[in-house]
Amino acid sequence: MLRDMDVDPGPIVQRILLGAELREARETRGLSTAAASKALDWYSGKLSKIEAGDMKTKDADLRRAVEVYEIDAERARRLQVLATDSRRRLPPARVPEWAAKYVHLVAAASELRIWSVDTFPGTVQTEAYARAMLTESVVVSPADVDRMAEDRARRAERWETDDSTALWLIVGEEALRREIGGPPVLREQLVRVRELAERPNITVQIVPYQSGAHSSHGLAFSLITIFPGRPGVVYVEGLTSSDYLGREHARSYGVAYDRLRAVANSRIASVAMLDQRISDLT
């Protein structure tokens, strides 16, 4: 069901996809979470965990869900493949445990839309920029900083060769001004983003200070689309946790993102801003 990839996105993605499929099947049957849990004879909270991708689905549980939700044979077969793949073992990504799903979802995405208020997101960070950010984190051990920075930069390198995933990156102007790691580190990061902006599958836009109020003050988020034309997942990260929001939230966040695109500078004007800031830091 996943698009062809050279990198295995890992069982976490399959678990999330399986949960989303089961949730859709439940809603199609018109069952609330409570009613479905009762019909499935599952303890309170189990269904929510499975639908969120936070719990593996046993074969017996899947068979029960197929029966209760009246899922057709072909779809049941596909769900069984997902369930089997979701139980594979894979070394965890070197990110905080609560953010690990995001790394694997990004690896499987057909489209990724990111809004970052005042910094460049980990998805495109250089190693030095990532290290400067991680050093100030209150949830990352100092012993893990270098290794995590290296891994983050390695994942970001995919955009230099990967034309199959569409990336739309919008950042606030403060990201160009805040000297994370000092002027040389920021300049290197800006050069990286400037180079990425030239790629056919990547769009970079800057929301300037003078644009005034917009739809997403103080809130960074990502919209991750796995299958083109189908609702994706909204990722919202906090200091010590993250939320993965489903399709009922995806529409609102999608509207917010469209409004950000409207108030942001054009691609050409945004690249000009990057060029000017790089020049200032030389």
State pLDDT tens for residues 139-154: 899 999 999 999 999 9
Q: Which of 15-29, 86-100, 102-116 has the lowest mean pLDDT?
A: 86-100
Q: In DSSP terms, which residues pair with 243 in a beta bridge?
A: 236
| Best CA proximity match to 123, nearest among 137, 112, 134 | 112
Domain boundary among 64, 86, 108: 86
Q: How far apart are CA 78 and CA 73, in angstroms?
A: 9
Residue type (1 letter), 170: I
Report the domain count for the chain.
2
In terms of Cβ atoms closer than 10 Å to its own Cβ (0-12, 13-18, 19+), residue 233 is buried
Residue 5, pLDDT score = 39
Q: In angstroms, what CA-CA distances link 188 with 126, 128, 265?
A: 8, 8, 22
Residue 32, pLDDT score = 93
121 touches 176 (CB < 8 A) = no
- Both 179 and 53 in one domain: the answer is no
Query: Is pLDDT larger for residue 92 or for residue 207?
Result: 207
Residue 91, pLDDT score = 61
Q: How far apart are CA 44 and CA 205, in angstroms?
A: 44
> With 50 as the cut, is the pLDDT of residue 82 above it?
yes
Residue 76, pLDDT score = 93
Confidence label for 109 from pLDDT (cuts 50, 70 and 90):
confident
What integer is the mean pLDDT of 213-232?
86
What integer is the mean pLDDT of 248-264?
92
The answer to whether residue 49 is domain-embedded is yes
Query: Is pLDDT larger for residue 227 or for residue 258?
Result: 258
Provide the domain limits for residue 104.
97-280
| Best CA proximity match to 206, nearest among 115, 112, 113 | 115
- Both 175 and 221 in one domain: the answer is yes
- Both 121 and 253 in one domain: the answer is yes
Residue 233, pLDDT score = 85
What integer is the mean pLDDT of 250-273?
95
Residue 189, pLDDT score = 98
Q: Residue 191 is part of a domain; what is its CATH number? A: 3.30.870
Starting at the earlier edge strand, list the strands of the sheet with 166-172: 202-207, 166-172, 111-116, 221-225, 233-237, 242-245
- Both 71 and 131 in one domain: the answer is no
> With 90 as the cut, is the pLDDT of residue 108 above it?
no
The answer to whether residue 5 is domain-embedded is no
Q: How many CA atoms lie within 13 A of 188 on its CB side?
A: 13
Residue 3, pLDDT score = 44
156 touches 103 (CB < 8 A) = no
Residue 6, pLDDT score = 42
> With 50 as the cut, is the pLDDT of residue 2 above it?
no
| Best CA proximity match to 3, nearest among 132, 162, 194, 203 | 162
What integer is the mean pLDDT of 102-128?
92
Backbone φ, ψ for residue 257 (5° rounding) = -70, -40
Residue 97, pLDDT score = 63
Q: How far apart are CA 41 and CA 39, in angstroms?
A: 5
